[in-house]
Chains A and B, each alone.
Chain A
């Protein structure tokens, strides 16, 4: 395991989260509506960032499974706010050159007659820098 101190500090600064407050109860993951799709779950994001073990997270599809529904933020008994950690790691990943997950060229395939604009703008906000 690599302890990436620089990335750890960057993620803590971006998210404003103090990962050391986590008491590892797992409530964030238990309440996560995207749990089944995730390789790393919300409590693991918090724990791995705390340990500086960040590279596996940056490569994981789990970054794009978080729904930003704030269930984990609301229900964490320690006020750790895991979704903010996931968001910061995701931004570190998509801000890298050529790392945008979605481009305008993907849109025609995606939309149907009833697709709300909100779906596309939200997806772009999450999948691109």
Chain B
């Protein structure tokens, strides 16, 4: 199976391992991630104002690329996923917005929300199947206690994102179990880490991130996984004393392809 892949700015720089482990793991599961040519940064945050058009065009162009190839558009970073999925939803449901966007897209043939957007986790669940992931495990993670930290962007707004129950998600826990490890559930797994405010007010991130880590540890976690480079940064920066890693890293480890990616 081939999919159009939107890596995003951070996966090409500070989160190269998130990207590399995603590639190798997909390959091991029979999925080829075909990187979208000339993709542009999603902007990091979806601007909810209906008169913001230019800030959403990079997402529309990526969506158009996938639609033209009749491939699902797959993202890994939580922020890219949130922005692209919300943009696609706006293209499907808001006629005024879609008409304005299409004035910019006329030379490219226009776009009307035809693409389907999958987060890598959804790709594993819906296109590959967690049962197939389980079968492909070479190094079981049995005995590890892993907490899934969702943060805000993967789940909300749930009416648009549609990934999982926004208050009681299971997708990452199901992945952890498929890899043989024990999923640790904790209350703050879907609360915000402090996001971009750590640029100017680190105290918000400090309070939120340390509460998240403490909560996960109190529930028995020995490791936290995330899909978001900014969540990882905020958690690590604010003193996480258990490993915080990308979900693709434990996936690559279990599938036996982690070593191949080192040094890539």
Residues of A within 8 A of B (CB): 13-16, 33-34, 36-37, 64-65, 67-71, 73-74, 81, 83-84, 87-88, 91, 102, 110, 114-127
- The main secondary structure of chain B at its interface with chain A is loop
Residues of B within 8 A of A (CB): 8-10, 13-15, 41, 43-52, 55, 77, 79, 151-153, 155-158, 166-167, 191-192, 194-201, 203-204, 207-208, 228-230, 232-233, 236-237
When distances are taken between beta carbons in the complex, the residues of chain B under 8 Å from A64 are: 197, 200
When distances are taken between beta carbons in the complex, the residues of chain B under 8 Å from A69 are: 151-153, 156, 191-192, 195
Q: Is the CB of A116 within 8 A of B48?
A: no
Contact A114 to B14, CB < 8 A, known contacts A13-B50, A14-B51, A119-B230: yes
Residue of A nearest to B151 (CB): A69
When distances are taken between beta carbons in the complex, the residues of chain A under 8 Å from B157 are: 70, 73-74, 81
- The main secondary structure of chain A at its interface with chain B is helix
A-B contact count (CB 8 A): 133
Q: Which of A15, A33, A126 contacts B191 (CB 8 A)?
A: A33
When distances are taken between beta carbons in the complex, the residues of chain A under 8 Å from B229 are: 116, 118
A86 to chain B, nearest CB (A): 9
Q: Is the CB of A34 within 8 A of B43?
A: no
Q: Is the CB of B208 within 8 A of A33?
A: yes
**Complex formed: what's the CA distance from A116 to B78 in Å?**
13
When distances are taken between beta carbons in the complex, the residues of chain B under 8 Å from A119 are: 196, 198-199, 230, 233
When distances are taken between beta carbons in the complex, the residues of chain B under 8 Å from A121 are: 9, 41, 43-44
Q: Is the CB of A117 within 8 A of B166?
A: no
Contact A123 to B10, CB < 8 A, known contacts A65-B201, A67-B152: no
Q: Is the CB of A117 within 8 A of B13?
A: yes
B29 to chain A, nearest CB (A): 26
Q: Is the CB of B192 within 8 A of A87?
A: no
A17 to chain B, nearest CB (A): 9
Nearest 5 interchain pairs by C-beta: A122-B44, A69-B192, A69-B152, A70-B156, A122-B196
When distances are taken between beta carbons in the complex, the residues of chain A under 8 Å from B195 are: 67-69, 122
When distances are taken between beta carbons in the complex, the residues of chain B under 8 Å from A91 are: 47, 49, 52
Residue of B nearest to A83 (CB): B48
Q: Which of B49, B167, B230, B232 contacts A122 (CB 8 A)?
A: B230
Residue of B nearest to A70 (CB): B156
Q: Is the CB of A70 within 8 A of B152?
A: yes
Would you give 14 A-B contacts (Cβ < 8 Å), ordered by A? A33-B204, A64-B197, A67-B195, A69-B191, A69-B195, A71-B152, A88-B49, A116-B13, A118-B10, A118-B44, A119-B230, A123-B196, A126-B45, A126-B196
**Complex formed: what's the CA distance from A73 to B203 in Å?**
24
A43 to chain B, nearest CB (A): 18
When distances are taken between beta carbons in the complex, the residues of chain B under 8 Å from A118 are: 8-10, 44, 77, 79, 228-230
**Complex formed: what's the CA distance from A14 to B97 in Å?**
11
**Complex formed: what's the CA distance from A68 to B233 in Å?**
17
Contact A123 to B199, CB < 8 A, known contacts A33-B208, A87-B48: yes
A28 to chain B, nearest CB (A): 13
Q: Is the CB of A116 within 8 A of B192?
A: no
B196 to chain A, nearest CB (A): 4
**Complex formed: what's the CA distance from A13 to B196 in Å?**
26
